[in-house]
Each structure stands twice: as structure tokens, then as C-alpha cells.
Structure 1
Amino acid sequence: GLEATLARHPRFCSVQVMDELEEDATPKWVRTTVDLDDHVIVPDLEPTGTSADPDRALENYVSSLSTLPMDHSRPLWELHVLDFPTSDAAAALVLRVHHSVGDGVSLLSLFIACTRRAADQDALPELPTTGAARRAGPVYALPSRPWHPPSSWGALAALAAWVVSLLLLAWHTVVDVLCFSATATSMLRDPPTLFKGAEGVEFRPKRFVNRTLSLDDVKYVKNTMNCTVNDVLLGVTSAVLSRFYFRKTGESGRKSIKVRSTLLVNLRKTPGLHALATMMESGKDNGAEWGNRLGYMILPFHIAMHDDDPLEYVRKATKVARRKKSSMESVFTYWSASMIMKIFGIKVLICSTARVYWSF
């Protein structure tokens, strides 16, 4: 159960404490006793609302959570049990976690490590390893190959290609850093569109709307277009935003619209399931990295109408994604945020990050 898994994790059984005697003190994690009754919540919802439109009831409940602050006197996580059927499931679990506990990549790995196989209740699940091998290391890493003295034109061509890729990496990084700096200083802004939030939008209720996609369909497009699943999903997002924009505004589909967003990038090796399971069993870190270690990229979206060829969205998305992978922008944003945090503190970091988002 939760007592033997999630509640034993160091971050899930600790609270943040500030040393009031130090002027520039930073919060520290201090172990405390976890009372599951404070964290497992079964809301008392109106049966008429959940039976009439269960999907809407689920969206309304999650939206209401976005306006409620978390209790910092206890570990910063909650598990909400919504015991009514929706169009996608027989029931729903809403796990609410403060962002200081960890980033999404760490949390997803942790949740998988909390599960066990249906056939063997003591065995951890196995992640699929079939398919093309994924490149190890951060997104910006060049493939590491042992260098040998060139003995043929093929070796010279390979060496030349590596040098060119290194130069492109440096050039793309410089361009992206300049664009990021211009965005952070409000010198580069997106034009006003219906996607741009009004002032104070961060304090308004948020509604999380989901749609279920067939993974088989996504993989079919991926294999046909010779790209990645993320490329397909990015293309789908561009298509949805395009249709929504031109339907709402009534403008011509040939008009070019500039819309940018941020894409979070994991900059550390994700801990293995066995390492996380051991961490929860022992209640100690065991050397596994945790917390937030994310950089982000400024990602442009292709907003246009391609009714004659919808796959053009995927082609455009693949081109943008491959260009962004040939850059160290995410490393720069993580490094700059870390330096601002250490030198000026959390308040200045929040203001500088907000200026980036205000430019979109």
C-alpha cells in the first residue's frame, strides 16, 4: 500500500522548514510523520452531477483544485479518489503534488516503481525495450564514437560530418540563446492572439481537458513519416491550435500566425525502477538524483490550415523538433536559472521566469 511505497519516499514524508534565525535562509527538507488520512481524500460529490455528466464533473473537480493552496505543515502531496465512472475509466485518481517535490519525469518514474505485475505481486514492471535504440544522455549530446585515424574517404567523410554537426550545434545554441535573452528582456514578443493570456491569468482557475488518442494510430503515423512519437504529438497540437484559431477568428487559413510556447527538457538520467523501489523501501536517497533538473526550450508552433494534406503539420513539427535538438538552449536555461537562484534568490528567479512567459 501507500505506507510501504509512496509515503516512505524521502520527499513524500518531509516538510519544508525555514531557519528563521538566518536572514538569507533557504527551505530545508525535514522528516515528519505521515498521516494517510490527511493525504488520501475521497470527496463527497453530488450524485446527480457525477451521473449526468461524469467527464464534466471530473474536469470541474480538478479545476477547483488549481485554486486551493496546499497545506505546508504536512508533506506536499494529496491523492484524491473519485469513485464514479467516466467515459475512459471506471474511476479516477487525482494525484496533486507540489512542484518542489520533483519534476514530472521523476514523479512518473516513481509512480511506476510503486506498481507491481499482475502475475507476480512482488515483481516490478518491465518497461518495453523493443524498437529502435534511444540515444542515451541529454538531448544535446552528440553520439560518442571512438575516433580512429582516417584510412579511407568514408572515414574522412564521417569525421567531416561530425565537425559540421558540432559547428551547427554551436551556431544553433548561439541563435537560441540570443532569442531567449531577447524574450526574457521583453525585446521579442509574440503578437496578440486569442492564445495570449490576459494580465492576472496565472491567478484564475485552470481547466484540464483531455482527449484519448489511439497509440496504434500515433505509431502508424510515426513509422510512415519516419519521425518520433513526440513529433507526431507536436504536429497534432499544431493542427488542433490551427483549427481552433481560424474557426474562432474567421481569418484566412493562409495567414501566418506566430505562436510560441516552452518545452521542458529532462537534463538528467532518469533513475531506474529498482533504484526508486529501493529508495522507498529504505526511506533513504541511496544516491538517486531527485528534485527538479529541467531546462526548457522556446518552441514555435506552426499555425496554418492544411486541409488538403494534414500530414504537413507533422512534417513541420519534425523539422522544428530536429532543429531544437541540435542546440544547448535547454542547458543554458537551466544553468542561468540556477545562477540567478544562487545569487539573487527565489523571488528574482520567479520574476525573471514570469517575464519570459509574459512575452508569449
Structure 2
Amino acid sequence: MEIKTRRDTSETTVRKDGEEEDEEEQPLSPAARVFHSPEFNCYVISVIGVKKKIEPDVIIEGLKQSLIRHPRFSSKLVSNGNKKRQTQSWVRTNVVVNDHVIVPDIQTQNIENGNANADVFLESYVSNLTTVSLDISKPLWQLHLLDLKTSDAENVAVLKFHHSLGDGMSLMALVLACMRKTSNPDELPSLPNQNRSSSRSSRLMTGSRGDSRFLWLVMVIWSAIILVLNTVCDALEFIATTMFLKDTETPIKGDFRLSKSKRMCLVHRTVSLDDIKLIKTAMKMTVNDVVLGVSQAGLSQYLERRYGERKKKVGEDKESKKNSTDMPKAIRLRSALLVNLRPNTGIQDLADMMAKGSKCRWGNWIGYIVFPFSIGLRDDPLEHLQRAKRIIDRKKNSLEAALTFVAGQFILKTFGVEVAAKIINRALSNTTMSFSNLIGPIEEISFYGHPITYMAPSVYGHPHALTMHFQSYMNQMTISLTVDPTVISDPHRLLDDWEKSLQSIKAAVQERGSRSLD
């Protein structure tokens, strides 16, 4: 299939008039410098499906009024000095918006719109984007507008950012700040309220005043002890992971030494958020707990099949198994869970930054939690939820995420970017995968007048063969997988296993509920 790229060469620019001198040039943060190192040339990609044919001129005009008013999206990367003492800075520049908006002329004679062929074409197009670096002589972002009807969207937009512009959570919040409610084009998207249940200490206050104070003091001391112990254990595990503690060599674990400049494959699947919420309510969990538990079940099913296929290739006798599984009994499979450490910066703050030039915190403020998945087939699928919840509850009572962030900053300042990148790369490469989950709008929103059907963000460039990202939107959840196709050649089967695991767990929850009513 042939693609011809069309660009509007009109000189539409945004000037720097009125900017203060100290905003004209800003040094790269240590984290941004790491993302430009050879070990971490990371990018964020977000595939956005819309309900109508895309009007490029409308979107370009919208970008002029919003996204490029953000300092990072109107600055280019400038390097000074030699290799030993090189400095890098963001320098404000005139932005030719049309140079960043790409409208490919897709030759559709071999694509039957609306069926699987268009979906395959989209996956191939996005995969090709992972092999091309952005031009550092311009601000490091692109928007691709595809006049392509897929099975779940009328047209598709693909946003590509360099990760040095900010962490993925901030970048997606910025994208949302460029959008408006379909029902009211003047209103920003609304995110669900995250009501946290009252703590045990607050519930203790319902007793007598003297007893409650004593119990409150005991609880505070005990919680502090547990917090310290958990943090120490997690710190030791992180140090061991950096030095020698490696995950099991499973069929989904890639070799980072062989993964440089590889083409990555990005696929997505949308499921019902109501199903996840049903499980959440019945099991008294959070959405994130359910997503982790279902992911654990789905990975177990997928690995069971992959190990079974591997045994068939080497000709092992099936009868010798005697009902045992094809997987090893003990598998160490850990994920790096991304945690946002930024002081709360809302969509309104980012919208004000673009509209009024106001300031809010920006940059890469992310820590990591090393989350061990309990891999194995279970007679009761609800065990996956319970095991995942126990682990994440313990991780919540730890300063692991903040510790990894502080440790990274210390290593950067003490030993420099090159050493820090190698250490972080080694730590991540000794785990198996990355995992993140973002909360999205609860109502339909529009991208410069184009109603959105789904958003599927993800990231690539780090040393993992598998990244799982979850994005909620209205009453649905979109699962995005970024995989190294030389390691995971069938990502759609992994999505199938995830969806089947969700339905299996939902059925078990409903069965438990019906039994309790008998």
C-alpha cells in the first residue's frame, strides 16, 4: 500500500512576542536528558478514534489556539559544548504548525473501509512511526490525521511526542485540556471523583474520646513501623534488581541488548468499563485493583498457551504431564508500575497555561513500583483479584515510588546522565514489562469539534518487550499493548486472553452474588 504525504506549506507561525527572557531558554531537566540518552529514546504515542471525517484545517486552527501555546510544544532542543561537557536547553522558537501536522494521502484501493484490513493498515502505520525519530530542529511533536475508516472509528488521529517533553500522565492531561465536552463546547472534560474511603484511624474516633486517642496513637506508630519496613524491603529489592535479581526468561520477556532501534507493534482493544465497575463494587476494590487482577489472569492464560506451543515444537510427550500445566511452577514476572508523583495539576490549570500564559508545574515527575504478578492457572478466577489486591495494598503502604524518584535524581546529579541511564536501564531490563492506568473523561468529548470514540495512549523506547496501558473513557476501558513483535508476535491473542479473563471473573462474581442470595 502506498502512502503519499501532503503538507500545507503556508507559513502559519506562532511568535514569541511578549515572552519574558527567562522563558526563552530553559535547561533540560535531568529526567529529560535521560530520555534523550541512547538507552532511553522514549516516545509517547496516542491513537485517537473520532466519529466523523477529519477536517485538517479546523484541527490546525485549534492547535494554534491551544497546544503550541505551551512552552514545551513551541521550543526546540539545542545542544551546546562538546560531548564531555555538553549542555542541552529548550529554546523558544517560531512554530510552523503545518510542519507538525501530517495528512497522508492513503491509497485506499486495497483497503475495504470498515473491516479488518483498515485496522491492520492502521497498526502498520503506527508501527512504522516507531522506527522514525522526530526532527530535533523543530519542537518534538507530530500529529498524523488519517482519513481511514476502521472497525471502531470513522477517522483516526495519531499524536506522537518525545518523552522528554513531560511524563505520559502530564502529556495526556495536556491533550485533554485541548478538548471540550461534546454537549457543551465551552466546558473542559470532567474526570470522575476519586473518593477515598475513610482511614481506619478516622473510624476509631467513633469510640470514647480517651480510648480513641490511645488507639489512634497506637495505630499511627504501628503504621509508621509498617511503612518503614515495607520501604526498606522494597528498597533492597530494587537494589537487588539493579544488580542481579532477574525475572524468569518467559516467552514475553525481551532482551534489551537486542532491542535497539526495533520496530514496535501497537494494538488496542476496548471493553466495557461497567463490567470492571461491577467487579470492583462486588469485591470492594478499586478499578486499578481489578485491572491488575484481570491482567494477571490474562497473562497466565497467555503464557500457558505459549509454553504449550513451545513444548509441542520440541516434541515432548503430552501424556507425561498427567494433568500438569505447561508453565513452570515458579515464575518471577514483575512489572514496573508508573506512579505520578506530581502535585495535582488539573486540566483547568493546563488550559489556563495555554490560554493565559499562567504557570503550573511541568516536567517528568514519575516513580516506579516493582509489582510482582502471581502467574499460574487458578481453579477460582477470583484468586487473581485477591492476590493482586494484597500486593498492591502493601505497595500503597510503602514509599517505594518516591524512593525510586529521589534515587534517580541523586544518581543523575552525582554520576551524570550516562551512568544514570545505564543503571535505570539495567533495573528495568531485569523486570518483564511496564504497566500504567489513566483515568479519562466521564462524558463524550471532542477533539476540536471531532467527537471521540476512544483514546489509546502508550509509550515505547524503554527496555521492555511488553507495555500494558489502560485508559478509561465514558463507559469503556481501552487496553493498549506495545510489544516487540520478535518476542510477542500475536498481541491480539493476549488481548483475547485479557478479555476472556474479564468475562470469567465477572461470571464468578455474579455466581458468588447469586449464591449469597440463596
How far apart are the structure 2 equivalents of 1:334 and 1:217?
34
How far apart are the structure 2 equivalents of 1:23 and 1:329?
33
Three-state SS of the structure 2 residue aligned to 1:315 is: helix
- Tell me which residue corresponds to 1:191: 248
- Tell me which residue corresponds to 2:348: 274
Contact 2:201 2:219 in 1 (8 A): no
- Tell me which residue corresponds to 1:260: 334
Contact 2:119 2:150 in 1 (8 A): yes
| Alpha carbons of structure 1 residues 49 and 343: separation in structure 2 relative to 1, 3 Å | farther
- Tell me which residue corresponds to 2:103: 42
| Alpha carbons of structure 1 residues 78 and 134: separation in structure 2 relative to 1, 3 Å | farther
Contact 2:307 2:327 in 1 (8 A): no
Which of 192, 205, 209 matches 2:267?
Answer: 209
- Where does the alignment leave 5 or more consecutive residues of structure 1 unmatched? none
| Alpha carbons of structure 1 residues 103 and 216: separation in structure 2 relative to 1, 3 Å | same
Q: 1:43-192 counterparts in 2 under 5 A?
A: 43-51=104-112, 53-129=117-193, 133-134=195-196, 151-185=209-243, 187-192=244-249
| Alpha carbons of structure 1 residues 49 and 8: separation in structure 2 relative to 1, 3 Å | farther
Aligned pair 1:356/2:427, yes or no?
A: yes
- Tell me which residue corresponds to 1:347: 418
After alignment, is 188-197 or 248-257 more displaced?
248-257
Listed one character per residue, the Cα deviations across residues 323-356 of structure 1 (whole Å, up to 9, x for unaligned) are 1111111111111111121222221111111111
Listed one character per residue, the Cα deviations across residues 262-287 of structure 1 (whole Å, up to 9, x for unaligned) are 011111123122221111013x4x33
- Tell me which residue corresponds to 2:361: 289
- Tell me which residue corresponds to 2:75: 14
Runs of 4+ in structure 1 deviating by more than 4 angstroms, as ranges, are 141-145
TM-score by length of 1: 0.90
- Tell me which residue corresponds to 1:336: 407
Paired residue type of 2:419: V
- Tell me which residue corresponds to 2:375: 303
Contact 1:106 1:270 in 2 (8 A): no
Three-state SS of the structure 2 residue aligned to 1:324 is: helix
How far apart are the structure 2 equivalents of 1:259 and 1:122?
46
How far apart are the structure 2 equivalents of 1:287 and 1:118?
27
Paired residue type of 1:247: R
- The offset of 1:142, in angstroms, is 11
How far apart are the structure 2 equivalents of 1:157 and 1:142?
10
Q: How many residues align?
A: 347
Three-state SS of the structure 2 residue aligned to 1:213 is: strand
Contact 1:6 1:12 in 2 (8 A): yes
Contact 1:295 1:330 in 2 (8 A): yes
Contact 1:49 1:57 in 2 (8 A): no
After alignment, is 236-245 or 42-51 more displaced?
42-51
More strand by share: 2
- Tell me which residue corresponds to 2:467: none
TM-score by length of 2: 0.63
CA RMSD of aligned residues (A): 2.4
How far apart are the structure 2 equivalents of 1:117 and 1:241?
36
- Tell me which residue corresponds to 2:288: 230
- The offset of 1:135, in angstroms, is 8.0
How far apart are the structure 2 equivalents of 1:265 and 1:89?
31
Contact 1:246 1:253 in 2 (8 A): yes
Paired residue type of 1:280: M
Contact 1:50 1:84 in 2 (8 A): no
How far apart are the structure 1 equivalents of 2:414 and 2:122?
42
- The offset of 1:50, in angstroms, is 3.8
Contact 2:81 2:87 in 1 (8 A): no
- Tell me which residue corresponds to 1:241: 299
